[in-house]
A and B are shown apart, each in its own frame.
Chain A
Amino acid sequence: MEPVKASTPLEHHSKPSMMKETKRKRPLINDRVKAILCLLPSIILITIFVYGFIGWTGYVSFSNWNSLIPDFSFAGLKNYAYLFADFRFQADLRNTVFFTLFFIMAVLVAGLILAILLDQKIRAESLFRNIFFFPMALSFVVTGVVWQWVLNPSTGVNLILKEFGISPMWYTSVTIIPGIEWGKIEFGVPVAMIAVVIAAMWQMTGFSVAMYLAGLRGIPDELREAARIDGASEFKIFTKIIFPLLMPITVSVIIIMAHISLKIFDLIYAMTGPGANFVTDVPGVYMFETTFRGNYYANGAAITMIMLLSVAIFIIPYLISSRKGGS
């Protein structure tokens, strides 16, 4: 339908003489060529730098390039088979699953609560908003460095926790709860990962607050008023009217947060590193170390292809649905 739009001007404004119309038609066609030409460099760049490079990485992941010297001989699924049998990669998958779950939950819940509270026509709203938003302007590296200090096993926060009977060593704990044997690893929640979740939540909650706040502000007051007149309780108004209306925002936040957490690297690299027994390791860190420190290029490429796949599962349906919704 859109291409039609571009050509409509001619029809609409064709009241002047025929002469003029033919005169204008030529530069217009010219303009459409110009438009495509302007887009072309970007398309070429994206084709090469995104799709071409992904293809090349995929090719490397099927090769034998696991040393300093490139070796593109075909290795089949060897690199993938290696990873899925690898303790470290299994641990990475576990860590990513729990990090993603907890991180998204924390961001959603805290974001929704704070947005609702901020929407209560309170005093100093902009001050509170600024406090909740500012960490987003920081780098994950800064967040990692700072939280490393805040949560250091021998520092203040942990001394307070000690009063409640929590050992300060939780920060580097290798405990997995509940720790069911699964493959080579213990499956469960790695305690040390909680520290990373807290730091990540600190940084990203502002995003969900902003999203929910925008959503709440977009809900017309008449809706609530009407419900109130019908005698609905405030709680009911929220669960039956507001929450469903916020659903698309919730989905957006989940998708955005999921793609951040599935590819997370800098926060963990700066804050905890892979951790003892790889309790805080994630594919991003593993890929970095194995590729650029150990020269296992094919293994590293295989890790990234798995990462890409996990992100694509979320993103492609989302992109397609929002494309339909958008136009």
Chain B
Amino acid sequence: MSVRIVSRPIIYAILIAFSLFFLMPVYLMFITSIKPLDQITLSQMWELPKAIDFTSYKEAYQKLAPNFLNSIYLVIPATILSALLGSLNGYVLSKWKFRGADWIFTAVLFGMFIPYQSILIPLIQFLREIELYNSIPGLVLVHVVYGIPITTLMFRNFYATVPTEMIESAQMDGAGFFTIFRYIMIPLSIIAFVVVGIWQFTNIWNEFLFAVTITTSEQQPIMVALQNLSGSQIVQWNVQMAGAILAALPTLLVYIFLGKFFVRGLLAGSVKG
């Protein structure tokens, strides 16, 4: 049994109150996005629209579609590459430990917590040097590199739960490093791949600092374009909200359908898996 401090109705009252707080912005975002501009006034802010109007979506889509595609070109390779790299690292760091491996792991982990501003100036110089500045491949590289700590962490913690005996008996049967990885570890870690994949997908999709400093105009991912939408022109709140919904849609869908794995990734991110 769990703790019973307060009575049921109060529990539900508090939970519902918090739920309203969490849903309020969503409600506003949604009804604003389906209103025509002239219905977006203070007095009508909370009211349902008189008629549903999708023109703001059309406009937001027109403005954001290229950037949406950029984000897709960015997120897919970056997620796959960083998950593969992370699983390999996690495999080595959990099953093939060598002297100092733990220190190396800790040193790698530190890279996950640094403020990325502190590597931004050399990073930009470097990307310019290798001619990947202002390009999606450049951003992919950045996200793969700075995704190493978190993906390694997640896979290492996952592989730590794989019994060592399995590896040992495989070695008995003559299996080598890669064979074990391919035929034992990868099939065992499909769930870990899903968790890490979702985590990286969400993070890279939502990332802003690298996106805004490394890319410009046509190369920009969706979040930067969304931010620019609220730029210097008259604020068209309906278009902005429609844009926000479009930008949030992929990660929201992932959350809705694979929320369990998302939360697992979230918990794994707190170092102690």
Contacts and interface: CB of A to CB of B under 8 A. Distances in A.
B118 A308 contact: yes
A117 B15 contact: yes
A322 B108 CA distance: 14
Given A46-B148, A139-B251, A311 B3 contact: no
A134 to B, nearest CB: 6
A318 B113 CA distance: 11
Nearest to A159: B42
Nearest to A292: B213
A269 B227 contact: yes
B106 A323 contact: yes
A141 B208 contact: yes
Given A3-B97, A50-B119, A318-B271, A150 B113 contact: no
A110 interface: yes
B190 interface: no
A276 to B, nearest CB: 17
Contacts of A279: none
B271 A322 contact: yes
B233 interface: no
A242 B3 contact: yes
B271 A13 contact: no
Contacts, number: 307
B73 interface: no
Contact of B272 (A121, A135, A252, A287): A252
A2 B240 contact: no
A146 B24 CA distance: 10
B76 interface: no
B109 interface: yes
A268 B4 CA distance: 39
B244 A304 contact: no
Nearest to B32: A149
From B45, B114, B237, name the one whose CB has the most chain A CB atoms within 10 angstroms: B114
Interface residues of B, number: 104
B221 to A, nearest CB: 10
Contacts of B5: 116, 234-235, 238
A57 B118 CA distance: 6
Contacts of A266: 208-209, 223
B188 interface: no
Interface in A239-258: 242, 248, 252-253, 256
A138 B167 contact: no
Contact of B110 (A148, A224, A319): A319
Nearest to A214: B267
A152 to B, nearest CB: 8
Interface stretch (A30-38, A75-83, A170-178, A181-189): A30-38
B252 A114 contact: no
A45 interface: yes
A315 B149 CA distance: 14
28 contacts: A13-B168, A42-B85, A49-B119, A53-B123, A117-B15, A122-B8, A131-B22, A134-B22, A138-B248, A139-B247, A146-B25, A149-B237, A150-B24, A221-B1, A224-B2, A242-B3, A253-B270, A265-B117, A266-B223, A284-B115, A288-B117, A292-B213, A301-B121, A304-B115, A307-B118, A308-B118, A319-B109, A319-B271
